[in-house]
């Protein structure tokens, strides 16, 4: 039997070296592999190049690595929830490859599927295709490194000639992923919104490390419920269902008038 389970998060990430590239799952704070991130922080790994939709917030998710100055470069599609990210980028401490969200997802999927590159309409006619997007500042407000121009070609699709920009696939040294359930062979099931960039990140990593809330025996998962097959997974760490999960912003509607009375009559908390 192929048993891919490891005893701890610390052991599972122990061979990730300085300078490694990582694909990390999560969207906002949903589905962040926080146990693996914290284990990486504790062992002191630095100079990391990270591919993830965003970089967490100041004190959670990838933000904890960023705050410790462990990340050299981020490839992301959204960076608006982290003040320290903004500071490091504008001061020239951090390199950023800003990528359209759908393009980033497809770059990861392509990397995991053995596809070297693909053409997409997203970004045509903008600096995404033409180059010039700031990747690193010099600390004085001037651009030290800018994005290069990309190949643009015209294709006739369904009788319409349109321009498409070439995007290269992403493959990383390691992937860090969070899943709800796994068997010992590495077959994964994700829970609702946590099925975001996690499957794609898993596919793109040459070595995929997964923190899982519940570990089951082979054969216990219904094959029709498996979201990612174990062929992409190399290491599994069970972290339990009580692991802390955060959200970025909690917004509740304030019930008024009849809604309050109706909520009270059904023992429903106001604003639930």
CATH number of the domain that residue 221 is part of: 3.40.1080.10
**Residue 14 in domain:** yes
pLDDT tens figures, 2-23: 899 999 999 999 999 999 999 9
**Residue 131 in domain:** no
CA nearest 121: which of 171, 159, 169, 157? 157
Element (H, E) at 90: helix 83-91
**Residue 74 in domain:** yes
**Residue 137 in domain:** no
Q: Which residue has the tokens 């919104």?
A: 193
Domain interval for residue 229? 9-116+169-238
pLDDT tens figures, 40-83: 999 999 999 999 999 999 889 999 999 999 999 999 999 887 89
Q: Phi/psi class of residue 32: alpha, beta or left (left: φ > 0; alpha: ψ in -120 to 50)?
A: beta
Question: What pLDDT was estimated at residue 258?
Answer: 52
**Residue 219 in domain:** yes
**Residue 133 in domain:** no
**Residue 132 in domain:** no
End-to-end CA distance of the chain: 47
**Measured torsion, CA atoms of residues 40, 14, 229, 244, in degrees rounded to the nearest 10:** -40
Contact 98, 76 (CB under 8 A): yes
The total number of structural domains that make up the chain: 1
pTM, 2 dp: 0.89
């Amino acid at each position: 039997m192929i048993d891919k389970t490891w005893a701890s998060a610390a052991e599972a990430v122990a061979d990730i070296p300085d300078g490694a590239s990582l694909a990390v799952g999560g969207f906002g704070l949903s589905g962040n592999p926080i146990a693996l991130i914290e284990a990486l922080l504790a062992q002191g790994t630095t100079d990391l190049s990270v591919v993830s939709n965003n970089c967490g917030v100041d004190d959670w998710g990838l933000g904890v690595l960023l705050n410790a100055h462990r990340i050299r470069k981020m490839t992301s599609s959204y960076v608006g929830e982290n003040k320290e990210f903004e500071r490091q980028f504008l001061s020239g401490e951090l390199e950023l490859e800003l990528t359209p969200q759908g393009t980033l997802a497809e770059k990861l999927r392509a990397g995991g599927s053995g596809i070297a590159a693909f053409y997409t309409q997203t970004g045509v006619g903008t600096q995404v295709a033409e180059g010039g997007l700031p990747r690193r500042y010099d600390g004085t407000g001037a651009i030290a490194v800018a994005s290069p121009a990309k190949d643009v070609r015209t294709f006739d699709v369904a009788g319409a000639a349109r321009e498409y920009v070439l995007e290269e696939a992403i493959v990383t040294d390691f992937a860090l992923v969070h899943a709800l359930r796994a068997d010992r062979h590495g077959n994964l099931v994700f829970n609702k919104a946590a099925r975001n960039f996690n499957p794609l990140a898993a596919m793109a990593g040459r070595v995929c490390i997964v923190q899982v809330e519940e570990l089951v025996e082979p054969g216990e998962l219904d094959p029709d419920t498996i979201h990612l097959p174990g062929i992409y997974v190399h290491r599994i760490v069970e972290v339990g269902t009580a692991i802390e999960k955060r959200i970025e912003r909690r917004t509740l509607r304030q019930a008024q008038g009849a809604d309050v009375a109706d909520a009270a009559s059904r023992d429903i908390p106001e604003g639930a």
